[in-house]
Structure 1
């Protein structure tokens, strides 16, 4: 009797359990065709993905209320809620969106996260903003200066000397792969890729322990395109013509970009080729802008390919290759400016000495493999990369052994990274995840002269860094993040001989002698912690602490060696403590953010001018940098939007080492480190659906912190900056679904000015005026 009773109970229990599992199925389309390999989650757990025709199915418990989320690359995320009692068919239609990454960033935590959950200052330049800026000028250093508070003004040249983040050097990356080398900061890394292949740009401000070596001031991550269609083949052709409106003679230039992309079965791809040639750059008077690193008469190439493969619903393999080159082929030789009289530098017709300057080549290879749910609640991302780059600098007349010399910066970088993220707790009121892994990089950098002489010897760095980060979300509104990273760095330098340098009269400034090489070793822990409260949109505050680390610009110290062994050269690393507090406000059509920060380092690095030798040398002393940023956007009408920002940064050196920064001996950091205040503004108006007009403003305030020398001029890097104000215009008109016209006008009112760098740098060869009014007319056709 008992066994029959037990059998009956088991049978009923089995029947009930079976009845609780019901099937959900359907098709995901973009209102025309099926969307392949879309991801479907229920209650934040991955259930399945659609097949190559867009069909899907999964099982849930009967009567269960579920939050359904559907997403695919190139489409808006779809969120739905259901309570299901029987087998159900749910057909879903996704809306195409080219800017799906606008509200999601990767750089701050190394995994995709909504920007509202980021606990530090971050700026995102969306694809739409990039397109608007490119309609005016496609130079990335200019775009960053216009769009990012805290980013120093552009120099309008092929290098980014002095263009930093909040007074400290930054790490520039393409899809997380470093383009910078802390061994010898050549300050050319912002021009590493063409903006036409970017989905967005993510800028994380302030020292960061997330990426370690080189990110003492933050980072800039260029995120490359993803296909925004489910079609097998799509593409876009874009043609631009540009030139000066002040003096059009020989100023005409052009730009051509061809892009194809699509999805074929389990594969997706993007391929792009860009060629740009600029004409002569003219200032507001119609004169040729000084040719030292000018972007005038420059030939640029970019080839990009990204191939993705989805072997299973929770896996993705991706390969990226990008090559970039931008060389100035000028027909002008430099005529130095006069710092005492204010006479600008310009050029006269003639063959420049040496080889064309700029980025000779920058090759990037990147292979990644991602697995969602490798094992219970754990995701894996492993990648490997290789970068090879060479940059060419201008000819220094009479500097080396009484003769001329043209230097090259060479960088050969390879590495691999392991990143895992595990969810420890996943409940409605508490969510705890831990990210952990290991970064490995081998960086070989040198700065020889073009003729083979060694100026900066080869530095061979091995960087190993394990890390762990915890992310705790309480009651959906309180976010706490903390973590630690250990930087282990070994730099090998072989024995070398310094290169004798001379002044214009041939007298020795630095002698030539043998230096014994060796190994420089560093090891340090970096911590970070941050808290943010998101309960109320009208006031969402955050506080953060993060440490940054960078082996100083060792190449400068080695080439300027005064002793005969590298273990006696001051090559101590820079470790930065960054403190920040701020808040965000969203109210109806208004969004506003404010942040204040302080960063300190017991040992900094300042490039200062030495009047005795007429050279720039490095100075090491404690530093404190502080400042604040404000930014606002307001939609007055659906067709009318306003935006504005203000950035202020200041910094000082503690020269007597007593921990104070207000003594008579202490000095302000110079213009190479601290930029003048910056204002930006934008008005966007859409009078009709197919037309968008934008008026942009960038203003640079004044900064004067130093005294003139005995010759009545400022020392190098210490020049006073006088304020100037620039306006630009961008118009975009969509003729039909596939064809768009753009018109951009730079320096709309033909302002006559010296860019900030020309003012503080105080070098006759770089004392050039800014570009006058220039026009850029574009046509793009999508298919």
Structure 2
């Protein structure tokens, strides 16, 4: 009996041990070429257990009870894969080979949080312009300011000139970047930064709307990031040649221009390369009546040169170095001089033959950028490091507002470094967490002298040190929570200087006799935050809400040059923090329709509006409130037809008496330099045959009339009413062979005779310029 009991007890113990026997699962995740994939989320849905692949694509689970399970592998840019397994051995190996998801790759966004994210996981409004869109638009125009205005809701109408002054993003300044490196000069914003890269070099554009501090000073309205092309061929050598000619339909004399763009790219072993050179010479630009457009900020009779090289080296499977150099320059070589118009009588500014005073207007941009990527610097944490150098020289037109006349030039030199780490963690299939954190270091030296050496804006030497961190939590697969923080520490050194003697254009008298100003150091410290939530349970309704802050040292050079005191400590150079709130949703139906709508409010306790009084520019620092709505719709009724439209509305006011109420009689609307009129764009792309593509778009700029005339019976600067106008563009593309395409396009097909929005609200005689009339472009593209 005793033996029986011992045997029974031993049996029970063995059964318990066996029933608790644990198993392990291991495996690898690779792409279709067999290369390991790092950072893939692998989880066992039945047990709510997760893991992340390492640099060898390897993952491992231990202490798994015996049974049948579903194991899932997913990551951005690849099709999610599920496998059912049964654990019968102590160690079971499960391998995944993931297929690339082309559609998903097109929806990956880098700029929003400085690490790749799926667009559907963002709690903010983003506009993405793909390479296909950029190439389509380049067939119509090489002026990237026109391209951006046509395709980005919330961006003010194009000025039709080389300057994007007044072309705000949601009513505020934005930062233009190339591969994440700022091209803007916020210390003295010359607002020529949109045209800092030839559009032929752009792989995609990411526009992040609303205040953001993720990239530092100046992005009150958001960021525009030009992401440059890579070598996209596995061949050792490939290339493309683009040749085009353009001219005016209204009056072809002296309007013919040409463009040549040549690219070579390839991959040889561990090396990859892309080299591009582009030359463009525009003819005289004409308005709808066939008259030459004036040369002030003009795009006509301008020579442009772009030189670009990107060299990559694969140190190892998960480590890569990329060195990029970009030079972009423009120079206006014109035989015309300005003839000012008259806003009060409606007489447009024109041009007549003559020799311009001073040196040619133009820009010079040089960028050198070294990046290092390590996809598994420790565990599943990836590292992205940058070193960059940039210098900018923007030369403006001759002005009689300086004593004895003169031309100014913005000189800016930036040197910077940054380190970004990204750590993903999968706890279960219903809980993933990722952290992005790093440090930015920037030295920006900017000044605005006259070409003859006189000081207008003294040299400003800024040092900016900013640590930051972002956290993203994905709960229950569909709920996404995000938050971040950035600490700005900025020091700006200014030497003693004397303000430049300037002339009042109204009275002709000296309005600034010149002040000796004591320099010193300006110091700024600020902590800014962002937070957001998005719910993706239903494809037909994915709502999101976000709060974000932006930090900006408002165009301090503009304040310094107009100083009326003897010490910079007595100048109101206080920084501005902007709070941005937005609520929106995305709707996707039947795989054919995408609809997005968003409303937003943007506030700042210390605004930065400008106003002119008796010809003198003043900066007004009072509270501001801006609000608006944007909508986008894309519809694919058939595989060969795509139609879409966007709508933008914006309004804003200043709380003049600073009582927290923007509806008092004393409070005023913001001027046209800040608030754009409503904008509607609509487009259609149709391919009736495999060889023929037809693309058309209409851009309508609506009315805005918020101000009354002054005592002189005219409108103050920035306050002129804007009357609606329409611009229609068309492009026809025909593939002669598999590698050769012929394009014919027309700008302003209906030859609309109009003043662009800026000409209308600015009211200044020297910028009372009409828009470009009907013109054509004929191009040939050969790829090999």
Q: Which residue of 1 aligns with 2:360?
A: 356
Classify 1:295/1:58 alpha carbon distance in 2 versus 1 (closer, same or farther; 3 Å).
Answer: same
Q: Which residue of 1 aligns with 2:10?
A: none
- Are 2:601 and 1:587 equivalent residues in the alignment? no
CA contact (8 A) 1:40 1:69 kept: no
Query: What is the aligned counterpart of 1:181 among 182, 185, 196?
Result: 185
- Are 2:144 and 1:143 equivalent residues in the alignment? no
Q: Which residue of 1 aligns with 2:3?
A: none
CA contact (8 A) 2:384 2:419 kept: yes
CA contact (8 A) 2:371 2:387 kept: yes
Listed one character per residue, the Cα deviations across residues 521-557 of structure 1 (whole Å, up to 9, x for unaligned) are 1101101110000110100001110111100111111
CA contact (8 A) 2:38 2:376 kept: no
Inter-partner Cα distance in structure 2 for 1:605 and 1:38: 48
- Are 2:541 and 1:536 equivalent residues in the alignment? no
Inter-partner Cα distance in structure 1 for 2:184 and 2:666: 34
Inter-partner Cα distance in structure 2 for 1:325 and 1:37: 42
Q: Post-superposition shift, 1:476?
A: 1.3
Q: Post-superposition shift, 1:20?
A: 6.8
CA contact (8 A) 1:102 1:200 kept: no
Classify 1:20/1:639 alpha carbon distance in 2 versus 1 (closer, same or farther; 3 Å).
Answer: closer
Q: Which residue of 2 aligns with 1:758?
A: 759
Secondary structure (helix, strand or coil) at the match of 1:196 reads helix
Inter-partner Cα distance in structure 1 for 2:313 and 2:417: 20
Query: What is the aligned counterpart of 1:562 among 561, 564, 569?
Result: 564
Q: Which residue of 1 aligns with 2:518?
A: 516
Classify 1:561/1:636 alpha carbon distance in 2 versus 1 (closer, same or farther; 3 Å).
Answer: same
Q: Which residue of 2 aligns with 1:4?
A: none
Secondary structure (helix, strand or coil) at the match of 1:405 reads coil
Q: Which residue of 2 aligns with 1:627?
A: 628
Listed one character per residue, the Cα deviations across residues 393-435 of structure 1 (whole Å, up to 9, x for unaligned) are 00112x223x111000010001111111122444211011111
Q: Post-superposition shift, 1:17?
A: 10
Inter-partner Cα distance in structure 1 for 2:289 and 2:488: 52
Inter-partner Cα distance in structure 2 for 1:90 and 1:561: 66
Query: What is the aligned counterpart of 1:153 among 157, 165, 175?
Result: 157
Classify 1:210/1:40 alpha carbon distance in 2 versus 1 (closer, same or farther; 3 Å).
Answer: closer
Q: Which residue of 2 aligns with 1:5?
A: none
Q: Post-superposition shift, 1:45?
A: 3.7
- Are 2:340 and 1:336 equivalent residues in the alignment? yes
Classify 1:470/1:70 alpha carbon distance in 2 versus 1 (closer, same or farther; 3 Å).
Answer: closer
Q: Which residue of 2 aligns with 1:383?
A: 386
Inter-partner Cα distance in structure 2 for 1:719 and 1:23: 65
Query: What is the aligned counterpart of 1:578 among 573, 577, 580?
Result: 580
Inter-partner Cα distance in structure 1 for 2:737 and 2:36: 30
Query: What is the aligned counterpart of 1:604 among 591, 596, 607?
Result: 607
Secondary structure (helix, strand or coil) at the match of 1:396 reads coil
Q: Post-superposition shift, 1:741?
A: 1.5
Inter-partner Cα distance in structure 2 for 1:730 and 1:683: 11
Secondary structure (helix, strand or coil) at the match of 2:164 reads coil
Q: Which residue of 2 aligns with 1:407?
A: 408
Listed one character per residue, the Cα deviations across residues 716-755 of structure 1 (whole Å, up to 9, x for unaligned) are 1111100001110012222222111112110011000000
Q: Which residue of 2 aligns with 1:639?
A: 640
Inter-partner Cα distance in structure 1 for 2:681 and 2:28: 54
CA contact (8 A) 1:124 1:202 kept: yes
Q: Which residue of 2 aligns with 1:3?
A: none
Q: Post-superposition shift, 1:229?
A: 1.6
Unaligned residue ranges in structure 2 (runs of 5+): 1-13, 43-50, 87-91
Inter-partner Cα distance in structure 2 for 1:377 and 1:220: 30
Q: Post-superposition shift, 1:286?
A: 0.6
Inter-partner Cα distance in structure 1 for 2:111 and 2:759: 32
Runs of 4+ in 1 over 6 A off after TM superposition: 16-25, 35-40, 56-64, 84-95
Q: Which residue of 1 aligns with 2:6?
A: none
Matches of residues 428-507 of structure 1 in structure 2 within 5 Å?
A: 428-503=429-504, 506-507=508-509
Q: Which residue of 1 aligns with 2:673?
A: 672
Classify 1:57/1:158 alpha carbon distance in 2 versus 1 (closer, same or farther; 3 Å).
Answer: same
Inter-partner Cα distance in structure 1 for 2:408 and 2:355: 19
Q: Post-superposition shift, 1:503?
A: 3.2
- Are 2:325 and 1:324 equivalent residues in the alignment? no
Inter-partner Cα distance in structure 2 for 1:603 and 1:475: 41
Instruction: Select between 712-721 and 411-420 the one with higher mean Cα deviation.
Output: 712-721
Q: What is the TM-score with the length of structure 1 in the denominator? A: 0.91
Instruction: Select between 294-303 and 632-641 the one with higher mean Cα deviation.
Output: 632-641
Classify 1:333/1:101 alpha carbon distance in 2 versus 1 (closer, same or farther; 3 Å).
Answer: farther
Instruction: Select between 517-526 and 583-592 the one with higher mean Cα deviation.
Output: 583-592
CA contact (8 A) 2:515 2:564 kept: no
Q: Post-superposition shift, 1:710?
A: 2.9
Query: What is the aligned counterpart of 2:268 among 229, 241, 264?
Result: 264
Q: Post-superposition shift, 1:331?
A: 1.0
Q: What is the TM-score with the length of structure 2 in the denominator? A: 0.91
Unaligned residue ranges in structure 1 (runs of 5+): 1-8, 30-34, 50-55
Inter-partner Cα distance in structure 2 for 1:757 and 1:24: 55
Q: Post-superposition shift, 1:640?
A: 1.9
Corresponding pairs, count: 749
CA contact (8 A) 1:160 1:187 kept: yes
Inter-partner Cα distance in structure 2 for 1:152 and 1:88: 53
Secondary structure (helix, strand or coil) at the match of 1:274 reads strand
Q: Which residue of 1 aligns with 2:717?
A: 716
Inter-partner Cα distance in structure 2 for 1:58 and 1:575: 45
Query: What is the aligned counterpart of 1:117 among 118, 121, 144?
Result: 121
Secondary structure (helix, strand or coil) at the match of 2:398 reads strand
Q: Post-superposition shift, 1:691?
A: 1.8
Give the alignment's Cα RMSD to 1 decimal. 2.6
Query: What is the aligned counterpart of 1:217 among 201, 217, 221?
Result: 221
Listed one character per residue, the Cα deviations across residues 605-654 of structure 1 (whole Å, up to 9, x for unaligned) are 1111112xx13221111111011111111122222221011100001011
Classify 1:768/1:583 alpha carbon distance in 2 versus 1 (closer, same or farther; 3 Å).
Answer: same
CA contact (8 A) 2:27 2:95 kept: no
- Are 2:303 and 1:299 equivalent residues in the alignment? yes
Inter-partner Cα distance in structure 2 for 1:151 and 1:57: 45
Inter-partner Cα distance in structure 2 for 1:69 and 1:472: 16
Q: Which residue of 2 aligns with 1:372?
A: 375
Secondary structure (helix, strand or coil) at the match of 2:200 reads helix
Listed one character per residue, the Cα deviations across residues 415-457 of structure 1 (whole Å, up to 9, x for unaligned) are 1111111224442110111111111101000000000000000
Classify 1:782/1:204 alpha carbon distance in 2 versus 1 (closer, same or farther; 3 Å).
Answer: same
Secondary structure (helix, strand or coil) at the match of 1:687 reads coil
Inter-partner Cα distance in structure 1 for 2:677 and 2:27: 64
Q: Which residue of 2 aligns with 1:423?
A: 424
CA contact (8 A) 1:36 1:265 kept: no
Query: What is the aligned counterpart of 1:165 among 165, 169, 191?
Result: 169
Secondary structure (helix, strand or coil) at the match of 2:134 reads helix
Matches of residues 34-183 of structure 1 in structure 2 within 5 Å?
A: 41=40, 43=42, 45-46=52-53, 67=72, 77=78, 79-82=80-83, 101-183=105-187
Inter-partner Cα distance in structure 1 for 2:521 and 2:689: 65
Classify 1:599/1:701 alpha carbon distance in 2 versus 1 (closer, same or farther; 3 Å).
Answer: same
Inter-partner Cα distance in structure 2 for 1:131 and 1:114: 23
Inter-partner Cα distance in structure 2 for 1:23 and 1:163: 50
Inter-partner Cα distance in structure 1 for 2:70 and 2:274: 39
Inter-partner Cα distance in structure 2 for 1:721 and 1:555: 30
Inter-partner Cα distance in structure 1 for 2:480 and 2:254: 57
Classify 1:198/1:101 alpha carbon distance in 2 versus 1 (closer, same or farther; 3 Å).
Answer: farther
Listed one character per residue, the Cα deviations across residues 342-365 of structure 1 (whole Å, up to 9, x for unaligned) are 111110011111111121x10011
Classify 1:422/1:278 alpha carbon distance in 2 versus 1 (closer, same or farther; 3 Å).
Answer: same
Inter-partner Cα distance in structure 1 for 2:303 and 2:199: 15
Q: Which residue of 1 aligns with 2:9?
A: none
Query: What is the aligned counterpart of 2:550 among 544, 548, 551?
Result: 548
Q: Which residue of 2 aligns with 1:52?
A: none
CA contact (8 A) 2:602 2:627 kept: yes
CA contact (8 A) 1:101 1:200 kept: no
Classify 1:625/1:376 alpha carbon distance in 2 versus 1 (closer, same or farther; 3 Å).
Answer: same
Instruction: Select between 704-713 and 233-242 the one with higher mean Cα deviation.
Output: 704-713
Inter-partner Cα distance in structure 2 for 1:627 and 1:603: 20
